[in-house]
């Protein structure tokens, strides 16, 4: 009897499953039918209009090429989308104009919501330092909700470019240097922005960018050429894009750079062979700002007409602000240089998203002022930003347990050009608000201990000037204080797009100020606020404690105060390597060996090493301390001989051996000791963020299978090769706590 019941339940489940899959398929078919029905009504000009995107004039994010009357072009059906128009009221007003066009095709509104819309979150590189995928997904979810409530359908995020070069200012926008971590974060952020899926009123289209390999610009100079082997492209730079696609990303954005001589915008290999071909991407590709027209400057296109031809053929569906498609595509079709089928395909991809968003049913469904007021800048959203900020802070150094501070301190000297800064807490790529309220470090300390501790303040110097006139005042208050808290770093616009720097030392004379304050003999805690890894060797060697706080957004000061006082025990880990000097760049942890690897910084004779600088970084990928300590022990492998289809179960014991409850990011690295293509000396293959109370122990488990041993071989096949592997488990890439070996067998 029971058996029949179970069978019946299973059969019902099967039927329901089939139904839901077929329901989805029917829904897609219905949308395709609708898309085709609209396409049939469109003139060639109206089709080309859908491929054209202009910026609004309020917050332009690229070189402006003005148009006399954009709204007239909207009414004439010459635009499919606008960016940088925001707000329920503002988007409704423009959409109303679009509804006056012949076919009433709704516009898409896009905006760079990279780390928060109304409530600003930490910059993406800071969030990556949390290694907390759920928290990062939630940060994107909050940003997506606020964005969707403000009439915007589409964010140009996440940026998933692997960044190994801190001279490139856009590292602030990504997830750092590691492919595994970057892929996990790309997936989480797309899921966050798109929520339960397009069509939901709180979901926005994600846009995985910049496709591809933009972060490898030669010399770290933005927009510069990228030259790399296909193996490096597939091994290190493409996986985060594939992860974003696997998360269901609705759109992609191409990149400004050439890849091996061919601009991404006109790159068939990238956009058609890989993205739309091998990976089956059915969303649409938007160009980056002007990147189609820029193929002329690249020396790839004779003129914008040829650029338009090359871009549409290469799979660039929408032209952001280069004004190449609008004037030339119709001619190119009439001259039989461009097949109308290519245009139809691009138009259908865009119309499909407009249907999925529900804009044909109700073009104004996202432009609701009441919902906007309820959703944006809420206390809950600020709490989410605070939590993300706390988790993004990295404790680089903490000599003699200088931190956490105690509330019994009577006087604290707060010194530095960023101590009272609110504006710089927003970071680059924040959505600017005249009435924005960002909490400075100083205000955060006031909120935390202002009633019982006297806060002395002196700026000391500016971020970039060379005047020491402020030093005396800073030294004077330091001498009166029990402890000094210093806030130094970059202004919010010193990292970001078109912000490449050949010198990434702490700007100006900020280190001189630190040196002068250190000379008072006081205990000095330094907070470094920046959008990229900086060089600060004196500070690193002489400060008593260092927190790398990046740019933390709306709740910056409260998060920093919570960490300074131990109300949040920092657990951040660096997502990028911090060099000792620009001369070491590019420097990253998962580098290849050489025929003469230096065993350590002293091993230089006939070794791959510098005469004048150590090989090792100042701070390694994965580095980050806690107020407590952790012990790693009892590493066990279920086998040391892995056959092709099997798995190795790894376990070890992690113990909190300190005086604070705390989180540890345990990192699993592998080394393939010899292979048909030389493999990195170590690669992150898994991690877990574990909360342990004081004295608590936990057994931590990982699983290794062939997937984790695979790489792109010389034929670009994804495969694992039999051989010897080294397993490393650590608290940082240069702090390995447990090691073992195993073999992958060939059967
Ligand atoms: C910029 C950026 C891109 C951004 C776009 C729209 O130039 O490269 O990331 O999404 O233009 O602002």
Q: What is d(CA 670, CA 653) in angstroms, rounded to the nearest whole number?
A: 19
User: Is residue 421 a part of any domain in this protein?
Assistant: yes
22-49 pLDDT, tens digit per residue, is 777 777 789 999 999 999 999 999 999 9
Residues of the chain with pLDDT under 70: 1-21
Q: Is the beta carbon of 428 within 6 A of some atom in ligand 1? A: no
Atom number of ligand 1 nearest to Cα 210: 9
Do 566 and 635 reside in the same domain of the chain? no
Do 423 and 534 reside in the same domain of the chain? yes
Do 530 and 405 reside in the same domain of the chain? yes
Two tokens, residue 406: 């105690």
User: Is residue 479 a part of any domain in this protein?
Assistant: yes
Q: Is the beta carbon of 112 within 6 A of some atom in ligand 1? A: yes
Atom number of ligand 1 nearest to Cα 156: 10
Q: Is the beta carbon of 252 within 6 A of some atom in ligand 1? A: no
Residue nearest to atom 10 of ligand 1 (CA): 156
Residue nearest to atom 11 of ligand 1 (CA): 289
Alpha helices in 99-178 (DSSP H): 124-128, 133-148
Q: What per-residue string of b and e applies to 165-193 under the rule 16 or more CB within 10 Å gives b?
A: bbbbbbbbbbbbbbbbbbbbbbbbbbbbb
Beta strands 411-415; 683-692: pairing state: unpaired
Do 509 and 573 reside in the same domain of the chain? yes
Cis peptide before 212 (omega within 30 of 0): yes
Q: Is the beta carbon of 497 within 6 A of some atom in ligand 1? A: yes
By the 8 A CB rule, do 490 and 550 touch?
Answer: no
For residue 121, what are the contacts with CB-CB under 8 A and spacing of at least 6?
115, 127, 139, 142, 143, 384, 385, 388, 389, 553, 554
Do 653 and 563 reside in the same domain of the chain? no
- Ligand 1 centre to CA of 61 (Å) is 6
Do 399 and 547 reside in the same domain of the chain? yes
- Ligand 1 centre to CA of 291 (Å) is 10
Atom number of ligand 1 nearest to Cα 207: 10
Q: Is the beta carbon of 170 within 6 A of some atom in ligand 1? A: no
Do 564 and 662 reside in the same domain of the chain? no
Catalytic residue among 178, 288, 368, 544: 288
Mutate to test the pocket of ligand 1, among 55, 62, 169, 252 (most ligand atoms within 8 A of CB): 62
Secondary structure E strands in 385-445: 394-398, 411-415
Q: What is d(CA 321, CA 57) in angstroms, rounded to the nearest whole number?
A: 12
Query: Could you give phi then psi for residue 475, rounded to 5 degrees?
Result: -65, -40
The residue segments making up the domain with residue 15 are: 1-32
Secondary structure E strands in 483-555: 483-489, 524-529, 545-548
User: Is residue 336 a part of any domain in this protein?
Assistant: no
User: Is residue 711 a part of any domain in this protein?
Assistant: yes
Question: What would the DSSP string read from start to end of 655-708?
Answer: EE-SSS-EEEEEEEEEEE-S-SS--BS-EEEEEEEEEE-TT-EEEEEEEE-HHH
Question: What pLDDT was estimated at residue 14?
Answer: 62
Q: What is d(CA 388, CA 397) in angstroms, rounded to the nearest whole number?
A: 21
Q: Which of 31, 43, 153 is nearest to 92 (CA)?
A: 153
Q: Is the beta carbon of 683 within 6 A of some atom in ligand 1? A: no
Give the 3-state secondary structure of residue 234: helix
Q: How far is CA 647 from CA 337, 638, 709, 725, 733, in A?
A: 54, 9, 11, 14, 24
By the 8 A CB rule, do 415 and 483 touch?
Answer: no
Do 566 and 648 reside in the same domain of the chain? no
- Ligand 1 centre to CA of 440 (Å) is 28
Do 513 and 637 reside in the same domain of the chain? no
Question: What pLDDT was estimated at residue 729?
Answer: 98
723-742 pLDDT, tens digit per residue, is 999 999 999 999 999 999 99
Q: What per-residue string of b and e applies to 19-31 under the rule 16 or more CB within 10 Å gives b?
A: eeeeeeeeeeeeb
Is 288 known to be catalytic? yes
By the 8 A CB rule, do 132 and 144 touch?
Answer: no
- Ligand 1 centre to CA of 288 (Å) is 6
Question: How many residues in the chain?
Answer: 747
Do 580 and 668 reside in the same domain of the chain? no
User: Is residue 465 a part of any domain in this protein?
Assistant: yes
- Ligand 1 centre to CA of 735 (Å) is 37
Q: What is d(CA 703, CA 550) in angstroms, rounded to the nearest whole number?
A: 33
Do 553 and 636 reside in the same domain of the chain? no
Neighbours of 494 (CB within 10 A): 21
By the 8 A CB rule, do 209 and 270 touch?
Answer: no
Two tokens, residue 395: 């404790």
Q: Total domain count for the chain?
A: 3
Q: How far is CA 209 from CA 241, 375, 533, in A?
A: 8, 27, 22
Atom number of ligand 1 nearest to Cα 84: 12
Q: Which of 434, 432, 366, 425 is nearest to 144 (CA)?
A: 366
Give the residue from 516, 549, 584 where a domain finishes.
Answer: 584
Give the gyration radius of the chain's Cα atoms.
27
Two tokens, residue 367: 């432009």
By the 8 A CB rule, do 585 and 154 touch?
Answer: no
User: Is residue 188 a part of any domain in this protein?
Assistant: no
Q: Is the beta carbon of 156 within 6 A of some atom in ligand 1? A: yes
Do 412 and 553 reside in the same domain of the chain? yes
CATH number at residue 718: 2.60.40.10
User: Is residue 716 a part of any domain in this protein?
Assistant: yes
User: Is residue 290 a part of any domain in this protein?
Assistant: no
By the 8 A CB rule, do 727 and 668 touch?
Answer: yes
Question: What pLDDT was estimated at residue 434?
Answer: 86
Cis peptide before 116 (omega within 30 of 0): no
């Amino acid at each position: 009897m029971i058996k029949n019941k179970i069978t019946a339940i299973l059969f019902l489940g099967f039927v329901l499953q089939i139904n839901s899959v077929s329901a989805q398929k029917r829904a897609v078919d219905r949308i395709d039918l609708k898309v085709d029905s609209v396409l049939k009504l469109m003139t060639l000009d109206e089709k080309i209009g859908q491929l054209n995107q202009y910026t609004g004039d309020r917050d332009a994010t690229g070189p402006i090429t003005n148009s006399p009357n954009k709204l007239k072009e909207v009414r004439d059906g010459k635009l499919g989308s606008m960016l940088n128009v925001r707000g329920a009221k503002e988007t409704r007003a423009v959409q109303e104009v679009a509804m006056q066009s012949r076919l009433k095709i709704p516009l898409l509104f896009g905006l760079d919501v990279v780390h928060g819309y109304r409530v600003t979150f930490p910059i993406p590189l800071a969030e990556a330092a949390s290694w907390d995928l759920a928290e990062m997904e939630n940060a994107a979810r909050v940003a997506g909700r606020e964005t969707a409530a403000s009439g915007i359908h589409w964010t140009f995020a996440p940026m998933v470019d692997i960044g190994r070069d801190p001279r490139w200012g856009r590292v602030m926008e990504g997830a750092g240097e590691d492919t595994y971590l970057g892929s996990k974060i790309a997936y989480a952020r797309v899921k966050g922005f798109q929520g339960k899926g397009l069509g939901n009123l709180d979901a926005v289209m994600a846009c995985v960018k910049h496709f591809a390999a933009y972060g490898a610009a030669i010399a770290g100079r933005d927009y510069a050429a990228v030259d790399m082997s296909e193996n490096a492209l597939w091994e290190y730079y493409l996986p985060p894009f594939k992860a974003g696609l696997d998360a269901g990303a609705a759109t992609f954005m191409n990149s400004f750079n050439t890849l091996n001589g061919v601009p991404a915008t006109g790159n068939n290999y990238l956009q058609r062979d890989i993205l739309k071909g091998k990976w089956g991407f059915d969303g649409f590709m938007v160009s980056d700002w002007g990147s189609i027209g820029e193929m002329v400057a690249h020396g790839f296109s004779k003129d914008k007409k040829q650029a338009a031809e090359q871009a549409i053929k290469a799979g660039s569906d929408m032209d952001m602000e280069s004004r190449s498609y609008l004037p030339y595509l119709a001619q190119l079709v009439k001259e039989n240089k461009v097949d109308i089928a290519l245009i139809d395909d691009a138009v259908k991809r865009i119309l499909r998203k407009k249907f999925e968003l529900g804009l044909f049913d109700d073009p104004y469904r996202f432009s609701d002022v009441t919902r906007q007021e309820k959703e944006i800048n809420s206390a809950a959203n600020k709490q989410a930003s605070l939590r993300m900020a706390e988790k993004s802070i990295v404790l680089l150094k903490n000599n003699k347990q200088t931190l956490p501070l105690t509330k019994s301190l009577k006087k604290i000297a707060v010194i530095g050009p960023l101590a009272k800064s609110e504006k710089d807490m927003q970071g680059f790529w924040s959505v600017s608000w005249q009435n924005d309220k960002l909490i400075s470090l100083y205000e955060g300390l006031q909120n935390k201990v202002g009633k019982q501790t006297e806060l002395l303040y002196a700026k000391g110097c500016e971020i970039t000037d060379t005047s020491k006139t402020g030093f005396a005042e800073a030294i004077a208050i330091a001498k009166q204080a029990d402890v000094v808290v210093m806030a130094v770093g970059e202004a919010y616009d010193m990292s970001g797009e078109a912000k490449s720097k050949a010198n990434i030392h702490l700007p100006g004379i900020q280190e001189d100020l630190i040196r002068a304050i250190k000379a008072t003999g006081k205990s000095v805690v330094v907070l470094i606020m920046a959008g990229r890894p900086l060089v600060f060797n004196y500070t690193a060697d002489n400060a008593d404690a260092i927190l790398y706080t990046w740019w933390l957004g709306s709740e910056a000061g409260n998060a920093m105060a919570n960490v300074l006082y131990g109300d949040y025990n920092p657990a951040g880990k660096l997502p990028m390597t911090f060099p000792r000097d620009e001369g070491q760049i590019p420097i990253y942890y998962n580098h290849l060996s050489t025929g003469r690897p230096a065993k350590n910084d002293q091993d230089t004779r006939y070794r791959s090493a510098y005469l004048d600088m150590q090989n090792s970084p100042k701070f390694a990928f994965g580095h980050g301390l806690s107020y407590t300590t952790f012990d790693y022990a009892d590493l066990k492998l279920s086998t040391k001989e892995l056959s092709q289809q099997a798995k190795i179960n790894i376990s070890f014991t992690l113990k909190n051996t300190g005086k604070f409850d705390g989180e540890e990011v345990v990192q699993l690295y592998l080394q393939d000791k010899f292979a048909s293509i030389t493999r990195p000396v170590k690669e992150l293959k898994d991690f877990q963020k574990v909360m342990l109370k004081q004295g608590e122990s936990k057994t931590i488990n990982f699983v290794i299978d062939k997937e984790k041993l695979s790489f792109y071989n010389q034929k670009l096949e994804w495969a694992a090769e039999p051989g010897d592997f080294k397993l490393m488990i650590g608290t940082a890439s240069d702090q390995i706590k447990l090691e073992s070996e195993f073999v992958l067998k060939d059967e």
